Amino acid sequence: MSQAATLVLFDIDGTLLRGAAEHHKRALIDGIQKVTGLATHLDGISTSGMLDHDLIAAMLRSARYPDEQMHEAMHNIIEECQRSYCSNCPSTLADLVCPGVPALLFELRDRAAVLGLVTGNLSAIAWRKMELAGLRQHFEVGAFAEDASTRVELASIAKKRAIQRDLISVDCYTSLIGDHPNDVQAARLNGFQAVAVATGLIGRDALAAAQPDILVETLNDLNVNALFKR
């Protein structure tokens, strides 16, 4: 198998999809309740740019659930959250795909780039969202909320997985596309090109302040040539 010269990593919510949070949030709440019996909520908890396990922890702390018990219960909660989403998700997310996404993914694949996910979603939730959106076939690797504690680590893991599968070389040109300053930071600290897109909850000015290499309004505006080493 020949190795690709380009790896492009994508965040999901706000980048590939917009407005797919309702069933996702419900799954986190249901997963917590099934394991702990607690009725929790996300009121007052910022979800933008967060990892699912951090949201679970924030909800448990808000309900005054002891930290020691939380650590013991976390694995089972994560499993239940994923099971809940896959059992109760909508029939399709195709209408929530962000502008420019399908055309960009097809062009990248046509040009032999390897595509991956770097997301705060739990893995089963992330892959199910991609299936429901009709995008699953484009992505070969990913790193997810249960894989690490920070988005910086997740970005590194995603590339390592592509290397381990012999899809890319160690020095493969890599870009990370996301809608949050956390995505820009994750790209920077891994030596990747940082591409920010203003289709999420964060305004363009806040994204510009994070100093990405490229900032676009939507992925319709992204020059695909910029994702390939010149």
Question: Which domain-ending residue is among 49, 73, 88?
Answer: 88
Per-residue pLDDT of the chain (230 residues; tens, 9 = 90+): 567 789 999 999 999 999 999 999 999 999 999 999 999 999 988 888 899 999 999 999 999 999 999 999 999 999 999 999 999 999 999 999 999 999 999 999 999 999 999 999 999 999 999 999 999 999 999 999 999 999 999 999 999 999 999 999 999 999 999 999 999 999 999 999 999 999 999 999 999 999 999 999 999 999 999 999 87
Domain range for 72 = 21-88
**Shared domain check, 143 and 187:** yes
Helix (H, G, I), strand (E, B) or coil at 177: strand
**Shared domain check, 212 and 104:** yes
d(C-alpha 55, C-alpha 165), whole Å: 31
**pTM of this prediction?**
0.96
**Shared domain check, 102 and 58:** no
Q: Identify which of 123, 117, 83 has the alpha carbon closest to the alpha carbon of residue 101.
A: 117
**Shared domain check, 202 and 166:** yes
**Shared domain check, 108 and 78:** no
**Shared domain check, 111 and 79:** no
**Shared domain check, 110 and 82:** no
**Shared domain check, 201 and 112:** yes
**Shared domain check, 138 and 38:** no
**Shared domain check, 77 and 103:** no
Through-space distance between the first and last CA atoms of the chain, rounded to whole angstroms:
24
